[in-house]
């Protein structure tokens, strides 16, 4: 049985491949897959063939779907992790560190302990990383800066944060600039803190910079500007998914408290 007889017996297959050919041609043009793919799919569309869309599906389209699925899974896992109670996350981090003593596990636990106000435990967890090859790692610098702020040493925090490479990732950039703005604010560097908060809000991966900037504006007596930032946060919260609301609940709660205090 040849291909022609298959299409004669099942004409819907011809329609399916024709539609897929058009879809993949649009996809190739929109995603700039190159002249060769556009030519192959264009020729296949012209002659009514099926090999072009079939090859494109397996070599280009399917890997794209798999990559998108992995990215979506990573985002979902991060969101689910963020909504766990802090005590639960600390316990799980301690178990992971006991099982495998790595930079990531040690820094994660130190960061969680710092958030819980257990600064001595956090420092003890972090100390082995402060010397040697990990001393300039962004994760170590950020966690150390958090501890410096918690201990009332904003100048030390600022010194560490200026060593972080902001190109590491969007999340690293957001966290670094937010902490840097806090360190500058605590030292009375108002103009610098204002500029750094605004930098942190650009392409931020969390609502923390906006919420903290609103709080900063309130303390500076700039109530109208604070109200505008808080209104934007409220609009984001109204439009957010339930998962995102839970993930960012700490910052939405801070924004709600600030709005109440402004009335």
Measuring CA to CA, how many Å separate 120 from each of 107, 124, 126? Answer: 14, 6, 10
Q: Is residue 195 part of a domain?
A: no
DSSP class of residue 166 equals T
* Boundary residue ending a domain (41, 59, 80): 80
Among 80, 105, 120, identify where a domain stops.
80
Mean per-residue pLDDT over the chain, rounded: 84
The answer to whether residue 250 is domain-embedded is yes
Asked if residue 53 is part of any domain, the answer here is yes
Domain count within the chain: 2
Q: Is residue 151 part of a domain?
A: no
Calculate what percentage of the chain has a pLDDT beyond 70. 82
For residue 82, pLDDT over 70 is answered with no
Q: Which residue has the higher pLDDT, 97 or 48?
A: 97
- The answer to whether residue 54 sits within a structural domain is yes
pLDDT digits (tens, 9 = 90+) for 98-112: 999 888 898 889 888
Give the pLDDT confidence of 236-250 residue by residue, as tens digits.
Answer: 999 988 888 888 999
- Its domain, for residue 251, covers 207-263
Residue 261 has pLDDT above 70, yes or no: yes
Q: Is residue 123 part of a domain?
A: no
Q: Report pTM.
A: 0.63
From 253, 257, 160, 192, select the one nearest 218 (Cα to Cα): 257
Last residue of a domain, one of 80, 107, 142: 80
Q: Which of 17-21, 168-172, 193-197 has the highest mean pLDDT?
A: 193-197
């Amino acid at each position: 049985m040849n291909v022609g007889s298959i299409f004669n017996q099942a004409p819907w297959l011809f329609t399916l491949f024709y539609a897929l050919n058009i879809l993949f041609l649009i996809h190739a043009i929109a995603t700039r897959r190159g002249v060769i793919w556009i030519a192959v799919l264009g020729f296949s569309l012209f002659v009514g063939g099926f090999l072009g869309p079939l090859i494109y599906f397996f070599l280009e389209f399917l890997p794209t779907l798999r990559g998108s699925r992995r990215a979506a899974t990573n985002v979902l896992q991060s969101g689910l992790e963020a909504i766990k109670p802090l005590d639960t996350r600390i316990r799980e981090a301690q178990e992971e560190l006991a099982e495998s003593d790595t930079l990531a596990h040690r820094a994660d636990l130190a960061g969680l302990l710092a958030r819980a106000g257990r600064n001595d435990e956090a420092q003890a967890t972090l100390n082995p990383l402060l010397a040697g090859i990990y001393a300039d790692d962004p994760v170590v610098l950020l966690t150390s800066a958090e501890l410096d702020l918690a201990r009332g040493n904003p100048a030390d925090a600022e010194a560490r944060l200026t060593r972080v490479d902001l190109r590491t990732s969007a999340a690293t950039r957001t966290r670094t600039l937010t902490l840097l703005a806090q360190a500058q604010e605590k030292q009375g560097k108002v103009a610098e803190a204002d500029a750094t908060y605004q930098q942190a809000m650009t392409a931020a991966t969390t609502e923390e910079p906006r919420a903290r900037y609103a709080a900063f504006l309130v303390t500076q007596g700039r109530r109208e500007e604070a109200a505008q930032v808080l209104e934007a946060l409220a609009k984001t919260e109204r439009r957010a998914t339930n998962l995102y609301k839970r993930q960012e609940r700490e910052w939405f709660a801070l924004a709600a408290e600030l709005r109440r205090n402004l009335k």
